Amino acid sequence: MQQNLPDSVNLLFVCMGNTCRSPMAAAFARNLLRNRATVQSAGIAVAAVSPSLFAVKVLKSVYNTDISGHCPRPVQELELSRFTHIIALDRYIGVFLADRYPAVAAKLHIWNIADPYGSNEAEYAGCAAQILERLHLWCAEAGILPPP
């Protein structure tokens, strides 16, 4: 039996600085969903000009995915109404987005992924694994991918 998948999925992953969690989540989603979705990431308080070195290293060495060219950008620069799903990578980010952009509340999803910023490579690796696991579950729940 073939499941009807959504025609147009436009995902946005949002974290604090757009240097760790959201670029990792976006990279995983692009790899997993390929041509089934458009995927972007952003942060609510962007201060850096490049992704975290540990995020780059973990994704390259463990997942063979390169995010070294990622340029962090603020969520305030995006038109949030065009996204079909906005995934806040922790509760604080979700509350910020819901308060600042109430019109997107219906498409807002909150995950509970701890921010590894400032910690060691092992913490980044654990965070990446948690994001990937959560992404697989969420895609099946949301009907973006058929169940395995």
Is the pLDDT at 48 greater than 60? The verdict is yes
Q: Distance (Å, rounded) from C-alpha 144 to C-alpha 35?
A: 11
Give the chain's mean pLDDT. Answer: 92
Q: pLDDT of 50-87, one tens digit each?
A: 999 999 999 999 999 999 999 999 999 999 999 999 99
Rounded average pLDDT over 5-10: 70
Query: pTM to 2 decimals?
Result: 0.93
Residues 6+ positions from 135 with CB-CB distance below 8 Å? 25, 28, 29, 32
Q: In this structure, are residues 115 and 49 in contact, taking their beta carbons and an 8 Å threshold?
A: no
Q: In this structure, are residues 15 and 119 in contact, taking their beta carbons and an 8 Å threshold?
A: no
Rounded average pLDDT over 116-141: 96
What residue segments make up the domains of the chain, in order of their start? 9-141
Q: Distance (Å, rounded) from C-alpha 87 to C-alpha 19?
A: 15
Q: Distance (Å, rounded) from C-alpha 55 to C-alpha 144?
A: 26
State the alpha helices, DSSP H only, in 34-120: 53-63, 91-100
CATH label, 9-141, candidates 2.40.128.110, 2.40.50.1020, 3.40.50.2300, 3.40.50.1980:
3.40.50.2300
